[in-house]
Amino acid sequence: MADAFARYVDAVAAAGKKEYDIPVFANAWLKPVDAPFGVYPNGGPRIAVLDIWKELTPHLDWLSPDIYDPGFAELCAAYTGDQILFIPETQCRAGRLYYALGEAHAKGVFGFGYEEYYDDPYFVQECRVLSELVPMMDESRPMRGFYREPDVDALDGEVSLSFGDYCFDVHYIPGEKNAHGLIIRTGEDEFIVAGVGAWIDFRHGSDFCKLASCEELEGGKVYQVINGDETGHHNMLYLRGRLFLNDYESPDGSVVPAPMYRLSHQRRFLESAHKRFKVSGIYRIKLYTYSK
């Protein structure tokens, strides 16, 4: 089935490109876990037959996955390497957007049914934060991302992200419902870090590594300078995120009470702070190192 469908789709793409010189791709409805044949569109460019599609569709510019299943990172990796990653459909989860852009370097990622989320303050606000980050994204700038996938990754897990000699150790906060973010290197010792639900410390080879400065950004401007206790004496960055000024109860029951707007780093240890309704923050940091 994959062989027949691939040959037919390539013939259609070839004919179309004679009329319109535009990118053409096919997207895959991935096989659900343990689903028998016949309950999803068989023969599409899913992982098991991806090599067949790549061989038989030279007129397609890439093959795309619709990702709804668990294991988002692994599925992104399966569709990268010798082609660009372009995700036409996935859940409207901010963490998936951050990971796809920051770590998988997707050229496009789209949550299905955006129009149904217009009154969901959490997702709308996360998209606004991403819109602030887009001007800072540049293919010449190294970028990494992280995402703790619900019901898949350990609540108290961590991940290490390298930028040359620098290493960022991201520690997920167990009680936080959402934990995700991305890091953009903007200079030799300068980075933009965005995210929520985690805290980060830094390494540079065998040297000590600390924050030289940390600014919280909002709307492209410096909202406040963070130092002292708020950075654990310049040893860490707490992705405390942004809170709303007004009381709000989200559809999942998370509540943020007024007038608390920013959380101190000590509150990452408090269960009550974990339940508060917050979205990603953006931080501009500069690091410095010194030998032991």
- For 180, the domain range is 139-292
Beta bridge partners of 202: 168
Q: In this structure, which amino acid lies at residue 290?
A: Y
Residue 282 belongs to a domain: yes
Name the β-bridge partners of 287.
211
Write down the pLDDT at residue 245: 56
Of 217, 222, 219, 170, nearest to 197 by C-alpha is: 170
Query: What local confidence, expressed as pLDDT, does residue 113 receive?
Result: 87
Residue 199 belongs to a domain: yes
Q: Which residue has the tokens 């339940």?
A: 275
Q: Which amino acid is at 54?
A: K
Query: At 10, which amino acid appears?
Result: D
- Cα angle for residues 159, 161, 162 (degrees, 5° grid): 150
For 145-189, the pLDDT digits (tens) are 999 998 888 888 899 999 999 999 999 998 888 899 999 999 999
> What whole-number distance in Å separates Cα of residue 77 and Cα of residue 220?
32
Q: What is the pLDDT of residue 261?
A: 47
- Sequence-distant (6+) residues with CB within 8 A of 235 are 201, 210, 211
∠ CA 170-174-178 to the nearest 5 degrees?
A: 75
Amino acid occupying residue 164: G
Task: Give the mean pLDDT per block of 10 residues along the chain (292 residues).
Answer: 97 96 93 78 90 97 94 94 94 93 94 82 87 91 93 87 95 89 96 96 91 93 88 91 67 57 62 74 95 78
112 in any annotated domain: no
User: Do residues 199 and 265 make contact, with C-beta atoms less than 8 angstroms apart?
Assistant: yes
Q: How many domains does the chain have?
A: 1
Q: Could you tell me whether strands 198-204 and 208-218 are parallel, antiparallel, or unpaired per DSSP bridges?
A: unpaired
The residue count of the chain comes to 292
Asked whether residue 124 is assigned to any structural domain, the reply reads: no
Q: Which token pair is 269?
A: 């240890």
Q: Check residue 266 and give its pLDDT.
A: 63
Q: Assess if residue 228 is contained within a domain.
A: yes
CATH number at residue 188: 2.60.220
Domain-located, residue 233: yes
In a domain, 119, yes or no: no
**pLDDT for position 258:** 45
**Residues near 196 by Cβ (< 8 Å), separated by ≥ 6?**
176, 178, 179, 180, 181, 239, 240, 241, 278, 279, 280, 281
User: Is residue 130 included in any domain, yes or no?
Assistant: no
pLDDT at 202: 95
138: Cα within 13 Å, side-chain hemisphere: 9
